Amino acid sequence: MAELHNVPRHIAIVMDGNGRWASKRFLPRIAGHNRGVETLKRIISACPSRHIDTVTVFAFSSENWNRPVEEVSGLMDILAMALSREVPKLQRDGVRLRFVGSREGLSERVKKGLEDAEALTAGNTLLSLNVCFNYGGRWDIASAAARLAAAGTPITELSLSQALSLSFCSDPDLLIRTGNEMRLSNFLLWQSAYTELYFSELLWPDFDEAALDAALSDYASRERRFGKTSDQLVGKSVTKA
């Protein structure tokens, strides 16, 4: 792993390609999602040594309820299993877990698991892992606007960004999407305004540390201008406009 100077502190990931990974092996789609959990564990472990302090992943979108019923219940089971199996290890490793998204439609068992995991890991500081589950960017913006309107608070860029579900952390510096698809799919619509986008042809279960390093190296070569010109940035640290 080469030492890079321009490192993203917050990466967001659309973990796409689990279904195709499984289909290529004549396995049920859920086998791909299970493999996806293993990849996620590897990537999370690799982040602290690369100076990444926040990872936000898209695990279940508001639209994923429209998938076949057995895939939806399989994803709920994977979440419940990951909570009971992985949370103690994340706790030992200093990872703070937060779940972002609507809790509507989730079973009591899953809701309790999410709350317990958040409470248990609340004091950890090595890495923040935000799992977007039952999340959609439009849902996030619309519910934040509705809350502000109900409270009679004027809707401005500042008040809206403070009302969003990821207001506790900085916007992602780098968004990685695997699976050779080039779209955001309703992920972090507001927060990705100035995020660098990186698309990998690899299916998520095949994504590994070397693929992460390739994304980081690509990021390091980019110039983030936040609406300014290159000349304005020379010799100055970049601050958001």
Q: Which positions lie near ligand FPP, rule CB under 6 A?
A: 15-20, 33, 36-37, 40, 59, 64, 78-79, 82, 131, 179, 204
**Least CB distance to ligand FPP at residue 210 (A):** 19
User: Which is nearer to ligand FPP, 83 or 164 (by Cβ)?
Assistant: 83
- Structure tokens given for 220: 């390091």
Question: Long-range pairs for 179-186 at CB < 8 Å and ≥24 separation?
Answer: 179/14, 179/16, 179/17, 179/20, 179/203, 179/204, 180/17, 181/16, 184/14, 184/137, 185/14, 185/58, 185/61, 186/61, 186/62, 186/63, 186/136, 186/137, 186/138
**Least CB distance to ligand FPP at residue 82 (A):** 5
| Contact by Cβ (8 Å): 177, 198 | yes
DSSP string, 174-191: EEEE-TT--S-TTSSTTT
User: Which is nearer to ligand FPP, 134 or 191 (by Cβ)?
Assistant: 134
Catalytic residue ranges: 16, 64
CA dihedral sign, ordered 26, 31, 37, 41? negative
CA atoms of 161 and 168, how far apart (whole Å): 10
**Least CB distance to ligand FPP at residue 49 (A):** 21
| Angle value at C-alpha 134, between 133 and 140, nearest 5 degrees | 100
User: Which is nearer to ligand FPP, 31 or 164 (by Cβ)?
Assistant: 31
Place of tokens 């898209």: 58
User: Which is nearer to ligand FPP, 172 or 205 (by Cβ)?
Assistant: 205
**Least CB distance to ligand FPP at residue 189 (A):** 17
